[in-house]
């Protein structure tokens, strides 16, 4: 059965692949045999995140998700250097946060551009490299694209407040997954989505009181750790999910079921 999950000779792009969640996804794909290209704007962060040994299988390509030209150039470079793009994980985002009253129209539009529009562009420009080659696209959404935040959680921790534009944009990611899974089915490209629950960064985890509040909300009574995403990312990137498309797999410890 293991061969169904193997990714030998596959080339995967993980946008934002040196971050809290992206680096775990990148490492998971490599563990199954893939060559992974971290597509992101800051090479110094890539250099710091991965060891010299890891860099044999995890490469870097400069990418600004707010620029269509940058997206096209990165994908062209990867295809030229590695002869294929078999998997695309749309993980990177950029946004401006704040409570609704403080969010300007410009902040709102910037956030939707950095979460939803950029993902749409990545899908659009990867299609020619995947068409009729059994390509896999994996989008990363959020539990707040499915449910409203519990605002009481933020009463004593306003610095972590979850903004309206984030949830709206991540909800759109789930719908784009459905749309493109249908649109690209005839081109033999599968599109699925992973929706993480509470996966606070290491910096946020230093606020123990906030983490306690999150854990109380989760039926499994713990926060998510990046390695919790490895299995589902491998599943959706491999032949083990050969008859799965248009689906949203929620990895939230049960947050959205209560």
Q: Going from the N-terminus, what domains does the chain have, and what CATH number goes with each?
A: 2-149+162-203+224-253 (3.40.50.720)
Confidence label for 195 from pLDDT (cuts 50, 70 and 90):
very high
DSSP structural state of residue 41:
S
Quote the tokens at residue 209: 């009181």
pLDDT for residue 67 is more than 80: yes
Taking only the tens place, the pLDDT of each residue in 161-194 is 999 999 999 999 999 999 999 999 999 999 999 9
Closest to 223 measured CA to CA, from 176, 166, 167, 160: 160
CB 194 within 8 A of CB 141: yes
Write down the pLDDT at residue 258. Answer: 87
Q: How far is CA 242 from the centre of its chain?
A: 20
pLDDT for residue 8 is more than 80: yes
Write down the pLDDT at residue 2. Answer: 73
Write down the pLDDT at residue 120. Answer: 98
Helices (H), 68-192: 68-82, 105-112, 118-130, 164-183
């Amino acid at each position: 059965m293991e061969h169904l999950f193997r990714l030998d000779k596959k080339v995967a792009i993980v946008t934002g692949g040196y971050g809290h969640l992206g680096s775990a996804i990148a490492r998971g794909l490599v563990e199954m045999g893939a060559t992974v290209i971290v597509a992101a704007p800051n090479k110094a962060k890539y250099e710091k995140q991965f060891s010299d040994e890891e860099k044999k299988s995890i490469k870097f390509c400069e990418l600004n998700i707010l620029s269509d030209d940058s997206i096209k150039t990165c994908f062209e470079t990867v295809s030229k250097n590695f002869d294929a793009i078999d998997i695309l994980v749309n993980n990177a985002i950029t946004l401006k946060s704040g409570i609704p009253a403080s969010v300007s129209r410009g902040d709102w539009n910037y956030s939707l551009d950095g979460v939803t529009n950029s993902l749409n562009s990545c899908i659009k420009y990867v299609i020619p490299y995947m068409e009729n080659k059994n390509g896999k696209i994996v989008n990363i959404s959020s539990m707040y694209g499915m449910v409203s935040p519990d605002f009481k959680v933020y009463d004593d921790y306003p610095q972590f407040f979850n903004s309206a534009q984030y949830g709206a944009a991540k909800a759109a990611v789930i719908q784009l997954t459905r749309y493109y899974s249908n649109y690209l089915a005839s081109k033999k490209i599968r599109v699925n989505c992973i929706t993480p629950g509470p996966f606070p960064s290491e910096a946020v985890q230093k606020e123990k009181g906030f983490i306690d509040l999150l854990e109380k909300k989760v039926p499994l009574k713990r926060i998510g750790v990046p390695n919790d995403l490895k299995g589902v990312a491998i599943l959706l990137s491999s032949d083990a999910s050969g008859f799965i498309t248009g689906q949203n797999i929620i990895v939230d410890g049960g947050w959205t079921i209560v």
